[in-house]
Structures are given as structure tokens and as C-alpha cells.
């Protein structure tokens, strides 16, 4: 059984944020797009 650990999640989410920034950098956005964040996380 997994015991939720918010601090562990916060530490792990740094890698998720890094991957997200790398993906966003590849999207060639113009600046007028709208984004909906349907995920969950620590708010970064």
C-alpha cells in the first residue's frame, strides 16, 4: 500500500516541471493561445 507523502510529491514534481517546460519550448507558440491545465499537482 502506498502512503501519500506531499513532500515527496513536491520534490518529484521538479522533474515533471522540467519535462513540461521542454515540451512547451518545442510547441512554437505565438503567444495568443489559450491553455487549460487539466492535471493536478502542487501548483508549479
Domain ranges of the chain: 1-44
Joined grid coordinates for residue 22: 521542454
Average pLDDT, the chain: 83
For the chain, first and last CA: distance in Å?
A: 27
| Mean pLDDT, rounded, for 17-30 | 89
Q: pLDDT-based confidence at 15, cuts 50/70/90?
A: confident
Joined grid coordinates for residue 18: 522540467
Q: pLDDT-based confidence at 25, cuts 50/70/90?
A: very high
Amino acid at each position: 500500500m502506498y502512503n501519500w507523502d506531499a513532500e515527496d510529491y513536491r520534490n518529484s514534481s521538479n522533474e515533471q516541471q522540467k519535462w513540461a517546460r521542454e515540451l512547451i519550448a518545442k510547441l512554437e507558440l505565438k503567444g495568443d493561445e489559450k491553455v487549460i491545465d487539466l492535471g493536478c499537482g502542487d501548483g508549479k
